[in-house]
Amino acid sequence: MTIQFDQVSSTNSGSSTNVAMTHAISAGAKNVAVFVHTTGVFSSNVAPVPVYAGNAMTLVDTQTIADAGNAGAQHVYYAVGMPSGDNTVNVMDFGFTNGTITVLGYTGVDQTSPIGTPDKEAYVPSTTTTSEVTVTSSTNGLVIDFLTVKDSVTNYTPGTGQTKRSFVASGGSGTNRTVANSSEKLGATSVAMTWSSFPNLGYGAIAVPLNPAQSLVSRGIDYFFDIYDPSGRILDANGREVMPWKLRANRWIRVSGLFLPSAVKYENYTLDPELAYIEEVSYSLRGGLRIKTNRGELTEVLLARAAGGKIL
């Protein structure tokens, strides 16, 4: 499954310590991951606590940004499986002055393991004018990054192959302001996220690889099995018994009797608890029928016992 950018929202926090904003997720979006990026200037670094649609978010990484005057900081959080439509984002205990909040939504992200290993770079002003953070990704993944520059209001330029997704400047002046940028780049074995043209100011950059959702091939249901059938038969789509040595992998099987009847219409086969995808199958006179499915051991044991002629 391909990871796709959905929508972005951003705001200037002003001097508020509890900030509420709205972010929308497109109707029908699948495998959603939401990222919240906060920046600001602090006298004592208190991490903000973002809550998305009533759900607490998980911290990806945080970073202090040194420069003249008070130090700056940025924090990146994520949440998966968020609802579509307009949602409220509350950032409590903000702890910053003249901060920014950016919310990015992506679809097609793995819901169990949404991100890989992030990395970051912090810079104290000297002579360098280019930032680079390199992370490990995959050819079907995506890398996003967040850049915060202290004492600046400049809209910075991302590197080659990067698509810029957001820019927001805080209020304030002089050493009491920050600017936040974000971008994305297609995944590869190694991905370098770069930004250029810094006017010798302190900055911090965090890069995060996103893992794509794994999708099984959707095919018709080839086999049917009822755990209450005393004969333990596996039937084909026409209701004919399938001999165990003729059972094939890469097929879907419906196992009825494990769950109470439901009127729920599932969006795909992987969500329907009665359906199992046969990944491996083997048969021998001594060992009987062995089936490995995407549903794990329970289905495998039930099918193996039934194929052995035992009453469940």
Render pLDDT for 224-239 as a digit per residue (tens, 0 to 9).
Answer: 988 888 888 899 988 8
Alpha-carbon distance of 152 to 147, in angstroms, equals: 12
Render pLDDT for 122-149 as a digit per residue (tens, 0 to 9).
Answer: 876 666 678 899 999 998 899 999 999 8
Alpha-carbon distance of 115 to 57, in angstroms, equals: 14
In the 8-state DSSP scheme, what is residue 241?
B
Place of tokens 């680079």: 132
Task: Give 65-134 as a DSSP string.
Answer: E--SSSEEEEEEEEEESPPSEEEEEEEES---EEEEEEEEEEESB-SSS-B---EEEEE-SSS---EEEE
Alpha-carbon distance of 156 to 194, in angstroms, equals: 11
Mean of the per-residue pLDDT values of the chain: 85
Rounded to the nearest 5 degrees, what angle is found at the Cα of 118, between the Cα atoms of 31 and 201?
120
Return the half-sphere exposure (C-beta side, CA atoms, 13 A cut-off) of residue 118: 21
The DSSP H or E segment spanning 307 is: helix 297-307
Render pLDDT for 37-94 as a digit per residue (tens, 0 to 9).
Answer: 998 887 666 678 899 999 999 999 999 887 766 788 899 999 999 999 999 999 876 6
CB 15 within 8 Å of CB 177: no
pLDDT band with cut points at 50, 70 and 90 for residue 311? very low
Q: Which of 116, 112, 109 is CA-nearest to residue 134? A: 116
pLDDT band with cut points at 50, 70 and 90 for residue 219? low
